[in-house]
Amino acid sequence: MSAVGRYRYFIGRDYRVGGATINLYDLERQVLIKQFHEPLIHFAIVCASVSCPKLQPWSYEPDQLDRQLDDVARAFVNDPTRNRFDRTRKVASLSNIFTWFEDDFSRAAGSVLSYITRYVRDPELAQDLMRSDYRIEYLDYDWSLNGIPPKEMPHAGRS
């Protein structure tokens, strides 16, 4: 998705939500993030780009929300296409989500790496991240859509 396309989709178009008109950017930043004060929201609010957390095929349910948010955080942190850990070089190659919202993650755990260790599935890696001085590098963000482009469909009345 181009920068112009992202602008049009997230900022340039308003939607009716709860009786108010708001764009998607403000809905994310001014409503969801500010009201919930929960960094896990960054793994649930997705833009459908390749580098974004995966869009889930289910809806978030109030009685399962904590487990669902934990699941999507673990899936994202442990996805080697989005985050990688080189134990030999002591480099954490992380999604730009962790730099864009660094304050949220650091406020919750003291640092981005401390936050990430909560969700790393490999207990040895989690210990290594906490004990060692890992250098953080941020991966390029791929804004292209994360799905297969739809097949061109013939218009009605055409053969």
Read off φ and ψ for residue 97, nearest 5 degrees. -55, -35
| Same domain, yes or no: 29 and 51 | no
Is 151 domain-assigned? no
| Same domain, yes or no: 44 and 25 | no
What are 108-144's pLDDT values in tens digits? Answer: 999 999 999 999 999 999 999 998 899 999 999 988 8
| Same domain, yes or no: 86 and 115 | yes
Which carries the bigger pLDDT value, residue 7 or residue 67? 67
| Same domain, yes or no: 24 and 49 | no
* Paired tokens of 87: 């134990």
At residue 149, does pLDDT exceed 60? no
| Same domain, yes or no: 83 and 104 | yes
| Same domain, yes or no: 47 and 85 | yes
| Same domain, yes or no: 13 and 52 | no
What's the count of helices (H) and strands (E) in the chain, helices before strands? Answer: 9, 5
Is 101 domain-assigned? yes
Q: How many domains does the chain have?
A: 2
Under the banding of pLDDT at 50, 70 and 90, the label for residue 159 is very low
Domain carrying residue 11: 1-36
| Alpha-carbon gap, residue 156 to 159, rounded angstroms | 8
Which carries the bigger pLDDT value, residue 61 or residue 55? 61
| Alpha-carbon gap, residue 111 to 102, rounded angstroms | 8
| Same domain, yes or no: 42 and 32 | no
